[in-house]
Amino acid sequence: MMMMMMIVKKKQFSLLSIRSPAFLLVSKLAIFLSIVLCVFAFFRLHSQSPQFRKHYSSTSTFQVVTQFNGQPKISFLFLARKDLPLDFLWNNFLQNADLASFSIYIHSEPGFVFNELTTKSSFFYGRQLSESVRVVWGESSMIEAERLLLGEALQDPANQRFVLLSDSSTPISNVFTSRSQAKALFSDFLCSFLPTLTKRYGRKKKRRAPPTIIIDDGFTDFSTDNGS
């Protein structure tokens, strides 16, 4: 009987010690410190990754010139998967252009060089970026490639207009008309679709609305009506 009473008292003492304020305080403190260490380790690993270093280098090299005196240039920013299959069309477009009014930058796959063996137009010789990332369609790597293009173009203060193009883009007017239109614009816009066009067919032959891009001080929202 005495042995049973001692066992019961020991159990009661252990339960009381676990529920004591001091034990609960120590437990909460240990959990809090564990969370802080996990968060610190995550950010430490993220900051040491090559992708983060590339992202930081591309964002830190931006130069914004508020005033520029001189002949402004239109910067063509090509986001290409590899080469430019329609380079012959762009060659005809740029043949009669004042080259001092244009600049060309190409983001291609890492290691790809534009020369006489890879392009039919001398306008693209050596125009590839020295730093590039491997781009996957529909992923954030596309945004990173665009930032690299824009960051490189901003190194030249003469670049006052920026035209983002893909490797399948083609000029639909002559160089003089394009230059006049670009110089007359003072706002950013996406001219992939007519304002009256509300429906189009996707790659799976499903009708969907064209995507809407909302840009507000570093935040970009890509959205569609049906999310496809």
Question: What DSSP assignment string belongs to 95-139?
Answer: TTS-GGGEEEEEE-STT---STTT-S-GGGTT-B-SS-----TTS
State the pLDDT at residue 174.
72
Residues 130-147: what's their mean pLDDT? 89
Checking if the pLDDT of 146 tops 80, the result is yes
State the pLDDT at residue 37.
81
Q: How confident is the model at residue 93 (pLDDT cuts 50, 70, 90)?
A: confident
Q: How confident is the model at residue 100 (pLDDT cuts 50, 70, 90)?
A: confident
pLDDT digits (tens, 9 = 90+) for 4-15: 444 445 445 454
Cα 143 to Cα 218: distance, rounded to the nearest angstrom: 12
pLDDT digits (tens, 9 = 90+) for 34-48: 888 877 777 666 554
* 63 contacts 141 by C-beta, under 8 angstroms: no
175 by DSSP, 3-state: which? helix
DSSP string covering 3-32 = HHHHHHHHHHHHHHHHTSHHHHHHHHHHHH
Checking if the pLDDT of 207 tops 90, the result is no
